[in-house]
Chains A and B, each alone.
Chain A
Amino acid sequence: MPEYLKKPVNKSSYMKIGIYPGCSLTGSSRDYNESVFALAEAFNIELVQIPDWNCCGATAAHNLNKDLSLALPARILALAEKHGLDEIVVPCAACYSRLVVTQNELKKDPELKNRISEVIEMDYRGTSRISNVIEWIDKYIIPELDGKIVNQFNHKVACYYGCLLVRPNKVLNYDRAEDPQTMDIVMSKLGASPVDYPYKTECCGAGFSVSRTDIVSKLSGKIIEDAEHRGAEAIVVACPMCHSNLDMRRSDINKYWKTEYKIPVIFVTQAIGLAIGLPAKKVGLKRHFVEVKIS
């Protein structure tokens, strides 16, 4: 283990930031959660969970009930405000999109904001600064990275952003909608070589994982096929839904396409963890379905 990790941490130098983990990070994407918290620890950042946070409602809520799809994220944001967490990192790209979209909808329509405030029986100001995981990395990890890299991540990688990290583009206002670059830049700083990758923002099938596994297998298979074709040794992701579709659904994908794709899928936070010398287990790499042989 590198020297700086053994040193006792000076608590006063901790930076305190709110985190909305979302449901997947407590269950099927525990690996992602472990890597986010391991990085926070290594970089002296205290991540405070929004007390008593609830599910954002995800695809189900906005497909079936618009008011519910706004009220659930509004409760989360109101709780953050109440507890003085004005900056929140949201590692799940889908939750991130729901929170930002809600904040935007309530900002442009004061009447709707009042109605939703009444539904959640809480004051809602809409003042939270919401970051996705790459923005959080850019702000707090990258400036402190110098001298901490002990294992250059010398691998060809395909950076896969998926849908909800960059879309709806005009609302999220983050990176470009076509051929985004932020994750590629982070990976380059670790020593990786990102390949040109036209599937960067194609959809993996998202919430159809259970109800239409055939669609997920078809779409995710194309994303994997192209990454392999371009010689990538790993697909790097920043979304638990993308990860579970590309990793946990791999046997369904290989069955659908009659292939034997073995390319591992890692979270960007796991790649940083490996580069600064954190053990594979600590960043959750032992929980993957597709074995991760690179280090």
Chain B
Amino acid sequence: MSHTEHHTERNSLAYTIEKNVEVRAQKCYQCGKCSAGCPVADEMDLPPSMVMRLLQTELAENDDKILRSHSIWLCVTCEMCLSRCPYEIDIPSMMDFLRQKSRSEKKVNKKARNIIAFHKSFLNSIRFTGRLYELGLIIDYKRQSLNMTQDVSLAPRMISRGKLHFIPDMIKDKAHIARIFKKTSK
């Protein structure tokens, strides 16, 4: 298949994505399979095929719209879009990149607050113990999200089935994990 090579504008989001995650937004021809298969498309402000289309415009206002969208946080990384894309455009990797860019540019959509609070609590938990401490995660998430009443009935039922521990399962070389966190934090 021959293509007229399209050169992306150096300051566009499409260009940055191409350089960082080797995804070429220009390849997308809007077949819509990604949005059709996406389990959370109906919750999204911008379904995946729409994100691709906006990237192709290379307009600053559209790039901004993407980074401020709720969609990039609703993407659950099920990888269905990639699996069904006729051009094998790696939308999930692109979404990871967009989430990180959205945070570093302080453009995070307010509706994504709880989702991000959960991810942060999750990483906090493994930063200190090396492994996920589920009870600690729930408590830290409640503190961050202020969702105090959620799941109060679940915890005792988990405890009675031996599924929630009171003492974290810690690795020996916790300092090693702490160093990995430190070296990878920008």
Task: Name which of A53, A55, A75 has the most chain B CB atoms within 10 A of its CB.
Answer: A55
B131 to chain A, nearest CB (A): 5
Complex Cα distance, B75 from A205, in Å, reads 10
Residues of A within 8 A of B132 (CB): 23-24, 27, 55, 58
Residue of A nearest to B112 (CB): A211
- A166-187 interface bits toward B, Cβ cutoff 8 Å, 1 = contact, 0 = none: 0111100000011000000000
- Complex contact B78–A163 (CB within 8 A): yes
Q: Say whether, besides A59-B119, A289-B161, A27 and B134 are in contact (CB < 8 Å).
A: yes
- Encode contact with A along B123-134: 1 for CB under 8 Å, 0 otherwise: 100100011101
**How many angstroms from the CA of A175 to the CA of B114 in the assembled complex?**
35
List A contacts of B68 (CB < 8 A). none
The A-contacting residues of B in range 90-126, CB under 8 angstroms, are: 92, 96-97, 99-100, 103, 114-120, 122-123, 126
For the A-B complex, the count of residue pairs with Cβ-Cβ distances under 8 Å equals 162
A119–B120 CA distance with the chains assembled, in angstroms: 21
Closest A residue to B181 using CB positions: A68
Say whether B163 contacts A27, CB under 8 Å: yes
- Among residues of B, the one whose C-beta sits closest to the C-beta of A168 is B79
- Residue contact B134 to A63, C-beta cutoff 8 Å: no
| Residues of the A chain whose Cβ atoms lie less than 8 Å from the Cβ of B96 | 62-63, 66, 69
A164 and B119 contact, CB distance less than 8 A: no
Which of these binds chain A: B24-32, B59-67, B167-175? B167-175
A219 CB–B CB distance under 8 Å: yes
A83 within 8 A of B: no
What A residues does B4 contact at CB under 8 A? none
A71 within 8 A of B: yes
Least distance between B170 CB and chain A CB atoms (Å): 10
B184: contacting residue among A68, A164, A212, CB under 8 A? A68
Which chain A residue has the least Cβ–Cβ distance from B113? A211
Q: Are B180 and A64 in contact (CB under 8 A)?
A: no
Instruction: Mark contacts of A110-144 with chain B using CB atoms, 8 A cut-off: 1 yes-contact digit, 0 otherwise.
Output: 00000000011100000000000000000000000
A212 and B180 contacting across the interface, CB-CB below 8 Å: no
A71→B99 contact, CB < 8 A: no
The proximity string for A residues 212-235 relative to B, scoring 1 for CB distances below 8 Å and 0 otherwise, is 110100010000000000000000
- Can you name 23 A-B pairs with beta carbons within 8 Å? A23-B169, A26-B169, A27-B163, A52-B130, A55-B132, A61-B123, A68-B184, A71-B184, A72-B126, A72-B180, A75-B180, A120-B180, A121-B176, A163-B78, A167-B82, A170-B88, A203-B39, A203-B78, A206-B76, A206-B77, A206-B78, A215-B40, A215-B76
Can you list the 4 inter-chain pairs with the closest CB atoms, starting with the nearest?
A23-B132, A167-B79, A211-B118, A203-B78
Interface residues of B (CB under 8 A from A): 39-40, 43, 74, 76-80, 82-83, 88, 92, 96-97, 99-100, 103, 114-120, 122-123, 126, 130-132, 134, 137-138, 141, 145, 150-151, 154, 157-158, 161-165, 169, 171-173, 176-177, 179-181, 183-186
